[in-house]
Amino acid sequence: LQAVHVIGGGLAGSEAAWQLAQNGIPVVLHEMRPERSTDAHKTDGLAELVCSNSFRSDDAEHNAVGLLHEEMRRLGSLIMRAGDANQVPAGGALAVDRDGFSDAVTQALTSHPLITIERGEIARPRDDWDSVIIATGPLTSPDLAASIRELTGQDQLAFFDAIAPIVHRDSIDMTQAWFQSRYDKAGPGGSGADYINCPLTREQYEAFVDALITGDKTVFKEWEAATPYFDGCLPVEVMAERGRETLRYGPMKPIGLTNPHQPDVKPHAVVQLRQDNKLGTLYNMVGFQTKLKHAEQVRVFRTIPGLQNAEFARLGGLHRNTFINAPKLLDTTLRLKANTRWRFAGQITGCEGYVESAAVGLMAGRFAAAERRGEQLAPPPPTTAHGAVLAHITGGHIETIVSGPSSFQPMNVNFGLFPPLAEPPEFDRKSKLGRAKARELAKKSAISRRALTDLGTWIGAQTKAAAE
């Protein structure tokens, strides 16, 4: 069999290559690093996590991304296998040691007999490559972006995200800060005390908000004015500008936390830091993406009690995000309608996040493998998390999608992308959580159960087709 060419060895490309090879199809995986890098990548490892080390919630019953994790595990995902094997404690979230994770993915792909890894930038897929998966991510190299634009005839869309600073653990003053997960929630491998918390009084919070608003920011004239922020990743100073209380209801919310140094004084606001590496020597400031200039970040963040002597392993910053107008350009198996030899996967399709990108890579790999074998693989049902993400991207098979291609914006997986249940589920009307909450949890749980059942049917159909 002729090889399928996967361009980009990030979250999506690595998973796509793995799925192809596991389905018996030879793969050439092209990764431009270390020959050429991006503004965010630091290593030459495959599946490098460029910012947070979290795959977010691992709750497969009540959280859409947790459900996506579970579906990926059932589909033999390499990204989930490497993530599970390199977990660090993070409450109910699945967070990973970033180097251990990337090493595990690199090792698995390098040692697979059907995978060849070629280092070097691909400015344009060769004409004699009859099956290509483009998974070059939000920081696709400019030459390849130009080739894609040339073929699609579409102006590429772009917006920007911001990244949060990382602090050396031993520079945090634990006589002021303390370890605790919100509501003492213990996730997989966690203790219920996984986060470092820094408390602020009302006066400190007000002064902090002022410092954020007046702080010196980097200005990105070229594209800032024309491109909107992604709401899940707003810079902290933009949140502060939206209202003085916004942060207290967002990343600095003080609820579910008790300061053991002053148990009788309720903090007015709390900054949380989450473990960033297996050793526990680095902690990232949760929700503190920022475009403050580096010197300003050091000055302003050191006003947070506990961080007055903080040493930063990495400061925050802004980045560009490149994605195509997928609902208009792609078919339901992620092929470019204008040239069906090219498939797209990962963040460049307009999904958002590590897990979603890998899931789209997983689907692209399976679609390309079936095609190479001369089979047709139906898209996963829209009732599954994979199907819901795919429907968002391809604008396809869910009638409830209201946004047309012109308003297409990247989005994390969420229960709003799933078709509604045929009937409202039973729930405990006397629940201590209250009726509304109990109803909502029962609904999420029913959507998740339906998803896993329908995924099982989809997997079963593939197994049957392969056997025939």
Residue nearest to ligand FAD (CB): 10
Binding mask 156-175 for ligand FAD (x = CB under 6 A): -----x-x------------
Binder among 40, 151, 186, 298 for ligand FAD (CB under 6 A)? 40
Is 200 or 358 the residue whose CB approaches ligand FAD more closely?
Answer: 358
Q: Are strands 195-200 and 269-275 parallel, antiparallel or unpaired?
A: antiparallel
Binder among 44, 121, 206, 224 for ligand FAD (CB under 6 A)? 121
Residue 226 phi, psi (nearest 5)? -90, -10
Is 138 or 254 the residue whose CB approaches ligand FAD more closely?
Answer: 138
* Cβ-based burial of 114 (10 A; exposed 0-12, middle 13-18, buried ≥19): middle
User: Which one of the spans 26-34, 169-177, 262-270, 292-300 is the region binding ligand FAD (CB under 6 A)?
Assistant: 26-34
DSSP one-letter string for 396-439: -S-TT----GGG---B---GGGSPPPSSPPP--TT-TT-HHHHH
Is 179 or 230 the residue whose CB approaches ligand FAD more closely?
Answer: 230
What separation, in Å, do the N-terminal and C-terminal C-alpha atoms of the chain show? 19
Nearest approach, Cβ of residue 267 and ligand FAD (Å): 26
Fill in the amino acid letter for 348.
Answer: I
User: Which one of the spans 98-106, 129-137, 192-200, 380-388 is the region binding ligand FAD (CB under 6 A)?
Assistant: 129-137
Binding mask 6-25 for ligand FAD (x = CB under 6 A): -xxxxxxx------------
Is 346 or 382 the residue whose CB approaches ligand FAD more closely?
Answer: 346
Residue 195, Cβ neighbours under 10 Å: how many? 24
Q: Is 103 in the site for ligand FAD (CB under 6 A)?
A: no
Nearest approach, Cβ of residue 45 and ligand FAD (Å): 9
Alpha-carbon distance of 31 to 10, in angstroms, equals 8
User: Which one of the spans 342-350, 362-370, 383-391, 432-440 is the region binding ligand FAD (CB under 6 A)?
Assistant: 342-350
Alpha-carbon distance of 78 to 223, in angstroms, equals 36
Place of tokens 């992604």: 230
Binding mask 46-85 for ligand FAD (x = CB under 6 A): ----xxx---------------------------------
Is 40 or 117 the residue whose CB approaches ligand FAD more closely?
Answer: 40
The two structure tokens encoding residue 64: 């859409």
Residue 238 phi, psi (nearest 5)? -70, -40
Nearest approach, Cβ of residue 281 and ligand FAD (Å): 19
Nearest approach, Cβ of residue 247 and ligand FAD (Å): 19
Alpha-carbon distance of 430 to 224, in angstroms, equals 50
Nearest approach, Cβ of residue 424 and ligand FAD (Å): 32
**Nearest CA among 93, 427, 134 for reference residue 274:** 93
Residue 412, Cβ neighbours under 10 Å: how many? 20
Is 137 or 267 the residue whose CB approaches ligand FAD more closely?
Answer: 137
**Nearest CA among 463, 305, 271 for reference residue 375:** 463
Binder among 253, 319, 341, 397 for ligand FAD (CB under 6 A)? 319
Nearest approach, Cβ of residue 437 and ligand FAD (Å): 27
Is 192 or 232 the residue whose CB approaches ligand FAD more closely?
Answer: 232
Residue 71, Cβ neighbours under 10 Å: how many? 27
Q: Is 364 in the site for ligand FAD (CB under 6 A)?
A: no
Q: Is 33 in the site for ligand FAD (CB under 6 A)?
A: yes
The two structure tokens encoding residue 184: 């003492």
Alpha-carbon distance of 314 to 163, in angstroms, equals 10
Is 119 or 299 the residue whose CB approaches ligand FAD more closely?
Answer: 119
User: Which one of the spans 235-243, 327-335, 346-354, 438-446 is the region binding ligand FAD (CB under 6 A)?
Assistant: 346-354
Is 41 or 169 the residue whose CB approaches ligand FAD more closely?
Answer: 41
Residue 390 phi, psi (nearest 5)? -60, -40
Q: Is 32 in the site for ligand FAD (CB under 6 A)?
A: yes
Binder among 31, 194, 237, 371 for ligand FAD (CB under 6 A)? 31
Nearest approach, Cβ of residue 56 and ligand FAD (Å): 7
What is the sign, positive or negative, of the torsion defined by CA atoms of 248, 252, 257, 263?
negative
DSSP one-letter string for 4-34: EEEE--SHHHHHHHHHHHHTT--EEEEE-TT
Alpha-carbon distance of 11 to 25, in angstroms, equals 19
What is the sign, positive or negative, of the torsion defined by CA atoms of 342, 347, 351, 355?
positive
Q: Which of residues 368-427 bind ligand FAD (CB under 6 A)?
A: none
Q: Is 92 in the site for ligand FAD (CB under 6 A)?
A: no
Radius of gyration of the chain, Cα coordinates, nearest whole angstrom? 23
Q: Is 346 in the site for ligand FAD (CB under 6 A)?
A: yes
Alpha-carbon distance of 421 to 419, in angstroms, equals 7
Binding site for ligand FAD (CB under 6 A): 7-13, 30-33, 38, 40-41, 50-52, 121-122, 135-141, 144, 161, 163, 319, 346-348, 353-354, 357
